[in-house]
Amino acid sequence: MLEEKVGPSEMIVHLGPQHPMLPGPFRLNARLRGETVVDSEVEMGFIHKGIEKILENKTYLQGITIVDRICYLAALSNEEAYVGCVEKLAGIEVPERSQYIRVIVEELSRLQSHLLGMGEYASFVGFVSMFMYTIKEREDVLSLLDSITGARITHSFLRFGGVKDDLPAGFKDDVKRVFPNVRKAIDSYEDMYRTDAIYKARTVGVGVLTADIAKDLGVSGPPLRATGVPFDIRKDEPYLVYEDLDFKVCTEKAGDVYARIQVRLDEMRESMYIIEQCLDQIPEGPLFPENTPYGKRSPVMRIPAGEVYHRVEDPRGEMGFYMVSDGSDKPYRVKVRGPVYPTLQALPPLLKGVKVADIVAIAGSMDTCTSEVDR
């Protein structure tokens, strides 16, 4: 308990649960001596909605709608992890065309998530106008996503064995129209970050994680890759058609706040490159496997009993679902392993010894999504 340890000339500052720095409600209690953080503690659960219990009481198809809302910035990765679990348990093969469409929507989702996360971060360190720029590009990306799935945030797009809809007519032309602008915008963001003295003063050398400590803390995703560890589920445990696609795992060496943002910038470029490859390579064919009971609507389906752990690369790191089926039409137990959970947990050791002003810079650079931690 933080309160018991307060020494002379020390004080406790509570940030949150409602605080402009926080993307969702959580509370950060920091024990300060002067302006230095001596110790801190994260309090969670302000938007805990019991998704794991709800999933146990929904049929498999209904569950897709619920898992969408675990992390509202990466709904499609959540769906991929959930649907992948069911497909592994039931032994469903996804046709190649559907796999490509899934890769396209998931990478678009990564693109919009990073655009929002980066813009939000810029506003945390004092560049509110940057947020305006990134949101503008994000709306263009969202309109692409919207044209495929019909929704902006919560898509409910994947189905067991396929996807809900085919790509709309003219999608390739839309991509050709939007992506050059986004590329140009990302270059200009990078330019701003590289040249702005104030931004660099606030980020370079701040909140440094070394590779060993990051591994110990269980961190994954961009914060881990910024320390130089090329840990990416898309490469290490390929799912969908990622094996056939050419992309590199973006890493940086410094492990500080600046490096984390740089990793996200590079990943956005890679995502666009992946989508363009997919559009060139995507074969014609059916969306669902033939002769399968699991069609587009797959009313009531019973999944063979078994247990499976399936993980995918979320915009924030390793997203995994552990699913236990007892042979009925509802899962017996679903565990959601969110990527931000360990990242947020790693804040107190990271914040030890920093100045108060840097709390926002460090916590923001983790791109936390509280909804997914609380579930």
Partner 1 sequence: MDANSIIDSLYSQFPDDIYDTDVESDIRVVAKVKSENITNVCRYLKENLSFGHLSCEFGIDYPDRGEIQVLYVIGSYEHPVVLTLKADLPRDDPQIESVVPVYWNANWYERETYELFGVKFIDHPDLKPLVLPEEMLGEWPLRKDYKGFPNKTAKNLV
Partner 2 sequence: MDEVERSEAEQAEVEQNESEYQGYDDIPGVTLTDRNAISDFIKKTKAQDVLNWGRKSSLWFMVNAMGCCGVELLSTGMAHYDTDRFGIIPRNSPRHADVLIISGYVTKKYLPALKRVWDQMPSPKWVIAFGDCAISGGPFYESYSTRQNIDEIFPVDVYVPGCPPRPEALIQGFFELQKKIEAKKDRGTEY
Where do contacts with partner 2 occur on this chain (CB under 8 A)? 17-18, 20, 23-25, 45-51, 53-54, 57, 65-66, 69, 72-73, 116, 120, 131-133, 135-136, 138-139, 152-154, 371
The residue (of 271 and 371) whose beta carbon lies closer to partner 1 is 371
Among 162, 315, 320, 331, which residue interacts with partner 1 (rule: CB under 8 A)? 320
The residue (of 215 and 302) whose beta carbon lies closer to partner 1 is 215
Q: How far is the CB of 1 from partner 2 (least distance, A)?
A: 18
Among partner 2, partner 1, none, residue 324 binds (CB under 5-8 Å by kind): partner 1
Give, as ranges, the residues between 73 and 102 that touch partner 1 (CB under 8 A).
none
Give, for 123, the enclosing helix (H) or strand (E).
helix 96-124
CA 77 to chain centre: 7
Window of 43-51, 111-119, 140-148, 241-249 that interacts with partner 1 by CB under 8 A: 43-51
Largest CA distance in the chain: 73
The secondary structure of residue 15, as a DSSP letter, is E
Q: How far is the CB of 57 from partner 1 (least distance, A)?
A: 7
Distance from C-alpha of 289 to C-alpha of 115, rounded to nearest angstrom: 35
Q: How far is the CB of 370 from partner 2 (least distance, A)?
A: 9
Sequence-distant (≥ 6) Cβ neighbours of residue 221 within 8 angstroms: 313, 314, 315, 316, 317, 318, 339, 343
Distance from C-alpha of 123 to C-alpha of 98, rounded to nearest angstrom: 38
Among partner 2, partner 1, none, residue 131 binds (CB under 5-8 Å by kind): partner 2
Q: Which residue has tokens 């969306």?
A: 287
Give, for 265, the enclosing helix (H) or strand (E).
helix 257-281
C-alpha radius of gyration, the chain, whole number: 21
337 binds partner 1 (CB under 8 A): yes
Amino acid, res. 153: I
Give, as ranges, the residues between 187 and 226 that touch partner 1 (CB under 8 A).
215-218, 220
The residue (of 47 and 135) whose beta carbon lies closer to partner 1 is 47
Q: Are 118 and 264 in contact (CB under 8 A)?
A: yes
Instruction: Count other C-beta atoms under 10 Å from residue 136's C-beta.
Output: 13
Distance from C-alpha of 375 to C-alpha of 373, rounded to nearest angstrom: 6
Among 87, 342, 362, 368, which residue interacts with partner 1 (rule: CB under 8 A)? 342
* Residue ranges in contact with partner 1 by CB under 8 A: 44-45, 48, 50, 52-53, 57, 215-218, 220, 229, 231, 236-237, 307, 309, 311, 318, 320, 322, 324, 332-333, 335, 337, 341-342, 345-346, 374-375
